[in-house]
Amino acid sequence: MQQPPKKLLDQVRDATRLKHYSYRTEETYVQWIRRYILFHQKRHPKDMGSAEIEAFLTHLAVQEQVAASTQNQALNALLFLYREVLKLEVAQVNAIRAKPSRYLPTVLTKEEALSVIQNIDGIPQLVVKLLYGCGLRLTEGLRVRVKDIDFSQQQIIVRDGKGSKSRVTMLPSSVTDELHDHLVGVRRRYQLDLGRGFGAVHLPFALERKYPNANREWIWQFVFPSSQIAKDPRSDLMCRHHLHESSVQKAVKQAVRAAKISKRVSCHTFRHSFATHLLEDGYDIRTVQELLGHRACNFEF
């Protein structure tokens, strides 16, 4: 019996996985495509085109007053739908564009950064130390695996960062002992998981098919694993994912309040501060760009 065709949003999910997009990107694209369809009274996208895309994007900019980056995200999702899923070309889109943000990123002084970190407890504190000491984005820090840390060379390999690019950044000596002790505890829990029939983690791309037993090896474990074993939304595998972003974000918010710092501070602020403080210490801008994973012509954070 012939299987019925997949629903459109399931086709979108299949296409993002074929392109090795992250789960977050997959969910974001599905969300925007669903909103686009509902905005046009549930018409099928194959019966619409650039005019309907323009109307939706203009609505986002004018009525909802979204940021330029948010509008661009919606546009990318819709272009992906038409080009990669429906295999249709879209004419030039001339929507009213959202106004780009002009605010300058927050930078903490060294004293302020230390004060915030001192007001964070437990594993979130170690995560933030790596964000500040290595110039990592929060998602990059949480996705670090055991094999990505090189204590002998004092460096961390950041794999599949923004734009699916990998890079090498410094591992400060001030955190090596603490990080090593942390991994001792992580390994102890990993061995307990193995004894209970778990111990697997999600592997990127097609590595799970190529190396079917690798997902239970120590080197592939997350440095900051979740406290809970849960079902992977893509593979249905019962595994221990990495620590959730919200736990670190909440800890930073509380620490900023406790430190009485009157600045708009987020986890990403530590990446800005990392770059600024290296420049203040005499590092050349090209070296800082490489540590951040930026091209020479682009010094945005």
Q: Which CATH superfamily is domain 110-292 in?
A: Intergrase catalytic core (1.10.443.10)
pLDDT at residue 205, rounded to an integer:
67
Q: 191 is written with which tokens?
A: 């061995």
DSSP for residue 145: B
Tens of pLDDT along 236-290? 788 899 999 999 999 999 999 999 999 999 999 999 999 999 999 999 999 999 9
pLDDT tens by residue, 186-225: 999 999 999 999 998 988 766 766 777 888 999 999 999 9
Predicted local confidence at residue 176, as pLDDT: 96
273-282 per-position pLDDT tens digit: 999 999 999 9
CA distance 290 to 120: 29
How many other CB atoms are found less than 10 A from the CB of residue 214? 14
Q: For the chain, state the CA radius of gyration.
A: 22
SS3 label, residue 238: strand
Backbone angles phi, psi at 169, to 5 degrees: -135, 170
Q: Beta 167-170 vs 155-158: how paired, if at all?
A: antiparallel
**Token representation of residue 20:** 């090795």
What long-range pairs does 89-95 form, CB within 8 A, spacing at least 24? 90/49, 90/50, 90/53, 91/49, 91/50, 92/50, 93/50, 93/53, 93/54, 93/57, 94/54, 95/53, 95/54, 95/55, 95/56, 95/57, 95/58, 95/61, 95/71
pLDDT in tens, 60-78: 999 999 999 999 999 999 9
Q: What's the token pair of residue 272?
A: 């800005």
Query: Identity (one letter) of the amino acid at 294?
Result: H
Check if CATH label 3.40.50.2020 holds for domain 8-85.
Answer: no
The answer for 95, left when phi > 0, alpha when psi is -120 to 50, beta otherwise, is: beta
Provide the pLDDT for residue 164. 63
How far, CA to CA in Å, does 64 sit from each of 68, 70, 71, 206, 240? 12, 11, 10, 39, 38
User: Residue 51 above 90 pLDDT?
Assistant: yes
The residue ranges of every structural domain in the chain are: 8-85, 110-292
279, two tokens: 């420049």
Q: How many CB atoms lie within 10 A of CB 56?
A: 22
The first and second tokens of residue 288, run together, are: 């800082």
Distance from C-alpha of 210 to C-alpha of 233, rounded to nearest angstrom? 20
